[in-house]
Amino acid sequence: MIQTKNLIKTFKDGDAETKVLKGIDFRAENGQFIVIMGRSGSGKSTFLYQMSLLDYPTSGQIIINGRDTSTMSSQERILFRLTQCGYVFQDYALLPELTALENVVLPLLMQGISKKTANTIAKEALTKVGLSHRFYNLPSHLSGGEQQRTSIARAIAHKPKILFADEPTANLDNESSKAILDIFQELHRQGQTIIMVTHEEQYAMLAQKIIRLDDGKIVFDTKN
Amino acid sequence: MFEKLILNSKIGLFLAFRQIKRSSWWTTGLIVFVMVLTFLNLVVVSGILVGLIEGSISAWHKQYTGDIIISSLANKDYIENSPNIVNLLKNIPDINQVSVRFNKGVILEANYQTKKTSDKSNTASAQLIGINPDKENQLTGLAGHVTEGSYLNSSDYDQVLIGNFLLKQYVPVDNPGFSALENVGVGTKIRIILGDVIKEVTVKGILKSKVDNVSMGLFMIDSEVKNLIGRNDGNATQIAINLKQNTDPLKIKSTLILAGVNKSAKVQTYVDAQPKFLKDIIATFAMLGNALSSIGLVVAAITIFIVIFINAITRRKFIGILKGIGINGQAIEIAYIFQSMFYAILGSSIGLLIVYLGLVPLFLAHPINFPFSDGILVAPFLETLIRVGLLVFATLIAGYIPARMIVRKNTLDSILGRN
C-alpha cells in the first residue's frame, strides 16, 4: 500500500517559488493498476518522482507499506528503489554501454544475487516482454519499442512491490505502445501494483483507478 | 560493511569493464597515450638526468679507479711500502686485477726544435702516469680509448700515449687558464719537463676519454717514469684494483684496513673516490629529477581528473539513472576508480615496455654524447615500480574526486539534466 498525505512540492528559482504539487492526498492498494493523467505541467511526473522516492517532497508524507519515507536515509531510499520498486522511464533510460541482458542483470547483481541466477532471471524477464532474441544487443541496436520493453524487463525482473511508469508509451508508435500496454495488463493480472503516468486517454481505460491532476491538485479520482 | 564494499567493487568492476570495452577505441587510445607520455616524463626525464652523471661515474669507475683504489696519503707523494701492499693484494682471492701507477705532475713541450726565441712556448701541464701497459689495459681497458696511433707495449721506452684534452685540436673551447699543445699528433716528438730533468718522447697514440685523468694524462711505461722521477724503491702513487664479480668492494676495503694498509695509504672504494663535484651534481640532479617527477605526477593526476571529470559530466544522466534504479553511489565511484586505474596501469605497462625493451638498451648502445659523459638512461626497476605505484595512486585519487562530485548530485536532477 502506498499513501500520500498533503504532499507539497515547491521549486525555487532565485526568489521565485513554483508550487507544483499543492497538497495531494492519495492512496493505492496492493495489486491496483492506477493511471495518473493530466495535461502538461499539471505535476503528474513530479508526483510520480515523489512516490518512487527519486525526489524529496517539500512537505507532506509518503507512507509505503506503513513506513513514513521521510524517516528513511538516502541509503534506505536507494535500497527501496532497488528492491521494492521498479521504474519505467519515458525515454527508457537504458545504459548505452550495456547489452539488453546486462541492463536487466545489473540491479539484480546489486541485490547480491549471483551472476548465474541473475542471468537466468534477466533472461526470463526479457523473454516475458518478447525480447528473447535481443539479449546481447546494445540499446543503440534496438528499436524504441524494444528499448522500452527492455526498460520494463529491468523494472520487473526483481519482482518489485510497486511498478512506476512515467509516460512509457510517449515516444512509441501505436503498435509498440499497444505491446507495452499489453505487458502492463498482463503484469496487473499477475497481481503487480502499477502506477502509470500518461496523457493518452485511450490507455487510461485499462486502469482500475484514474487520477486526474490539474495545477498540482487531484481534480478527479475514480474507479473503472 | 566489508561485504558491502566487495559487492560495490564487483558492480564497479562490471560497469568499468563494459564502459572501457564499449567506449571509443580512439578515446581510450588517446587517454592511454597521454598516460604513456606521462609515465615516460616521470621515468625518462629524471632517468636521463641521473644517467648523465651515472655515465660519468661509470666511466670514472671503469676507466680509472677500478673497484677499489689505494692512493698516497695527503701529505705524501707516494704510498709507503707499496711492494708489500702489492704482495698482500696477490694473496686476496677476491681480487681479479691490480694496476700499479706512478704519477707526477709535469710540463710538456712541443715544437721546441723549430721554435724561435721570440715565439711563445708550446707547452701544457699534464699528469704523467707510469703504468704496466698490459695490467692497466686489463683493469681499465685503456687500449680501447686509443683513437689514433696504437697502444703501448712493455718495450716502448721512449713512447707515450697522450690524452686528447692535452692537444689543441681536441679541446672544444679556448680556455684562457688552460693550455694545450699545438701541432702534435701521432709520431710527434715532445719533451717532458720535470724540474731540471728533460726527456724527449714520441707520441705513440692519442687517448680519447671523458674521464679527465685519462684525457689529460700522459701514459708511459712504469720503469721509464720511475727513472724519470727518481723513484726506484717501487713505491707507487696509486694502486687500482678490480674485484671478482659479485664481490662487495666494502668487504675488501675492510680487509685492507684490517691489514693496516690505511696507515700508509688511503683506501677507497670507487664510490668513496668519486670527486666531490660529481657527488654534488648527483645530489643536485637527483633533487631536480624528483622535482620534475613530482611535476609529472601532478600533470598525470590533472590529466586523469579532467578525463574522468568530462566523462562523468557527460555521463551525468546515466549516473543518475544508475542511482535511480538502485545502484549504490559507492559502486559508481568504484567504477570510475577502476577506469582510472586501467588507464594508469595500461599506460604504465606500455611505458615500462618502451623503457626496458626500447629506451634503456638504445641508450646503452648509443649513449647521448654529453661533453663530460656518455649519458645513459638510468631506470632502476624497483624505483620505476615505485613511480608506477605513485602514478596509479595519483590517478586513483584524481579519478575518484570527480566521480564523487557527480555521484553526490541529486539523482533526479542528474536524470533530468537539471542544475
* pLDDT of the residue at B135: 95
Element (H, E) at B76: none
CA-based angle A218:A208:A56, to the nearest 5? Answer: 45
Give the one of B321, B323, B329 whose C-beta lies nearest to A95's C-beta: B321
Q: Is the dihedral of CA B240, B241, B246, B250 positive or negative?
A: negative
Residue in A4, A5, A2, A10 with CA at minimum distance from that of residue A216:
A10
* Interface contact A178, partner B, CB < 8 A: no
In B, minimum Cα distance to A76 occurs at B326
* pLDDT of the residue at B352: 94
What is the value of ipTM here, to two decimals? 0.90
Residue in B207, B202, B196, B247 with CA at minimum distance from that of residue B93:
B247
Pairwise CB contact (< 8 Å): A107 & B326: yes
SS3 content of chain B, % helix, strand, coil (to 5): 55, 20, 25
* pLDDT of the residue at A41: 85
Distance CA B274, CA B64 (A): 11
**Contact call for residues B152 and B205 (beta carbons, < 8 A):** yes
Tell me the mean pLDDT in the region A205-223.
Answer: 84
C-alpha cell of residue B100:
700499479
C-alpha cell of residue B130:
707510469
pLDDT in tens, A69-118: 999 998 899 999 999 999 999 888 999 999 999 999 999 999 999 999 99
Residue in B278, B161, B270 with CA at minimum distance from that of residue B208:
B161
Residue in B91, B247, B260, B6 with CA at minimum distance from that of residue A112:
B6
pLDDT in tens, B267-304: 999 988 887 877 788 788 878 888 887 887 888 788 77
Tell me the mean pLDDT in the region A22-36.
Answer: 92
Size of interface A-B (CB pairs under 8 A): 64
* Interface contact A97, partner B, CB < 8 A: yes
Distance CA A218, CA A14 (A): 28
Chain B contacts of A81, Cβ < 8 Å?
A: 324-326
Pairwise CB contact (< 8 Å): B22 & A54: no
pLDDT in tens, B353-376: 999 999 999 998 998 887 777 888
**How do strand A162-166 and strand A2-13 relate by DSSP bridges?**
unpaired
Tell me the mean pLDDT in the region B45-61.
Answer: 83
C-alpha cell of residue B32:
592511454
* Interface contact A72, partner B, CB < 8 A: no
* Interface contact B323, partner A, CB < 8 A: yes
Instruction: Please report which confidence band the pLDDT of residue B255 belongs to, taking 50, 70 and 90 as the band edges.
Output: very high
- DSSP codes of every residue in B235-303: --SEEEEEEPTT--HHHHHHHHHHTTGGGTEEEEETTTTS-HHHHHHHHHHHHHHHHHHHHHHHHHHHH
**Nearby residues of B45 by Cβ (< 8 Å), 6 or more positions away:** B289, B292, B293, B296
* Interface contact A49, partner B, CB < 8 A: yes
Percentage with pLDDT > 90 across chain B: 46
The residues with which A193 forms a beta bridge, in sequence order, are A162
Would you say residue A223 has pLDDT above 70?
Answer: no
Instruction: Please report which confidence band the pLDDT of residue B22 belongs to, taking 50, 70 and 90 as the band edges.
Output: confident
- Lowest mean pLDDT across A47-56, B30-39, B200-209: B30-39
Distance CA B416, CA B6 (A): 30
Rg (CA), chain A: 17
C-alpha cell of residue A24:
495531494
**Nearby residues of B110 by Cβ (< 8 Å), 6 or more positions away:** B122, B123, B181, B182, B183, B184, B188, B190, B191
* Interface contact B234, partner A, CB < 8 A: no
Distance CA B173, CA B404 (A): 60
Dihedral angle computed from the Cα positions of residues A130, A135, A137 and A139, in that order, rounded to the nearest 10 degrees = 60
* Interface contact A191, partner B, CB < 8 A: no
Distance CA B311, CA B309 (A): 5
Give the one of A54, A96, A110 whose C-beta lies nearest to B331's C-beta: A110
* pLDDT of the residue at B357: 95
Distance CA B87, CA A78 (A): 85
Exposed (0-12), middle (13-18) or buried (19+): which is B37, by Cβ within 10 Å?
Answer: middle
Please tell me the distance in Å from A223's CA to the nearest CA on chain B.
30
Distance CA B223, CA A36 (A): 113
Which of A78, A83, A163 is the mutation pick for testing B, counting most B CBs within 10 A?
Answer: A78
Element (H, E) at B314: helix B276-314
**Contact call for residues B416 and B323 (beta carbons, < 8 A):** no
Exposed (0-12), middle (13-18) or buried (19+): which is B98, by Cβ within 10 Å?
Answer: buried
pLDDT in tens, A131-144: 999 999 999 999 99
